Amino acid sequence: MCTIDRVPIEEELQKLTTEDVFTAEITAKQTSEILHFAAKHLPKLEGIEHVKRILQHHNVSLEIARSPVPVKPPYTKEQFDEWKLIWPVSFRPLTKLRIELEDEDRRFIVKCLEEIKDAKMVVMAKHSEVIARARDGTAGGHPLKHAAMCCIALVADMEVERRRAGVLVPLKRPASPLPQDPEEREKSPQAMGYLCEGMDVFSTKEPCVMCCMALVHSRIGRLFFLEESKSGGISYYSMHSLKALNHHFTAYKCSM
């Protein structure tokens, strides 16, 4: 039995925070006219577009007040249920959270997880084809030779050979020649892209912060790991979805 659970992204883990805005109570008959005026003459709710302008209230007065509203939009049903008790908000679940693995994809994932289960290694794949495999090399005295770093290095070596040969071979796609002119070659679609762009990474252990950063820079697509770490780059730091980083990938905690 294999379970494949997506690790929540940063937005799903956020707690409710509020900020005060100025509010005024109006009668129901004034609502349409005031909303029309606000849309035409008042600035947009920049940064808090998820906050609705109207809160139904039974006690009406003409006093200006300060009211708390959620600073960030809700991304999960649980957040929405909590947020809306403070003030009405819009709820638009992120498309990237609606992820379902197709049967063929799942079979390949399970196959790779079976391979790494007891091997303490990292496997990289693309288009359901294994590209590189590597084991931890720190026992040899090199502190940076974690399995993920070694695997990225292997892909880099393949890229060097690919460019030398002038043909797109290693990534299991139809081979096509690169332009002979050096400048045109660098601009070619075959030569563009990041080192591990869109690749699936299967790791026995959850990658550390160093390895997670290398995976971010290499632009991987998905990460599957078996053994969670208390100070891991994913479960502890959420490095697969940090807004401060310029690339995000989907991470899965798996068990066999």
Least confident of 115-119, 120-124, 138-142, 191-195: 191-195
195 closest CA partner among 132, 129, 106, 111: 132
Whether 239 maps to a domain, the answer reads yes
Least confident of 15-29, 112-126, 168-182, 240-254: 168-182
CA 81 to chain centre: 24
User: 183 or 227: whose pLDDT is higher?
Assistant: 227
- Say yes or no: 107 and 60 in one domain: no
Give residue 38's pLDDT band: very low, low, confident or very high (50, 70, 90). confident
Task: Name 122's bridge partners.
Answer: 134, 203
Least confident of 99-103, 115-119, 127-131: 99-103
* The three-state (H, E, C) secondary structure of 116-164, written as one string: HCCCCEEEEEECCEEEEEEECCHHHCCCCCCHHHHHHHHHHHHHHHHHH
CATH number at residue 154: 3.40.140.10
- Say yes or no: 21 and 112 in one domain: no
Domain count of the fold of the chain: 2
pLDDT reported for residue 189? 44
Report the C-alpha gap between 148 and 222 in whole angstroms. Answer: 13
CA 144 to chain centre: 25
pLDDT reported for residue 169? 47
Report the C-alpha gap between 225 and 202 in whole angstroms. Answer: 6
Cα torsion angle, 40, 41, 46, 49, sign: negative
Whether 70 maps to a domain, the answer reads yes
Give residue 173's pLDDT band: very low, low, confident or very high (50, 70, 90). very low
For 48-67, what is the mean pLDDT? 77
Judge whether residue 139 has pLDDT over 80: yes
Backbone angles phi, psi at 93, to 5 degrees: -55, 140
- Say yes or no: 111 and 227 in one domain: yes
Residue type, 160: V
SS3 4: strand
How far the first Cα of the chain sits from its last, in Å, is 6
Q: What domain range includes position 41?
A: 10-94
Whether 107 maps to a domain, the answer reads yes
Whether 1 maps to a domain, the answer reads no
pTM for this one? 0.76
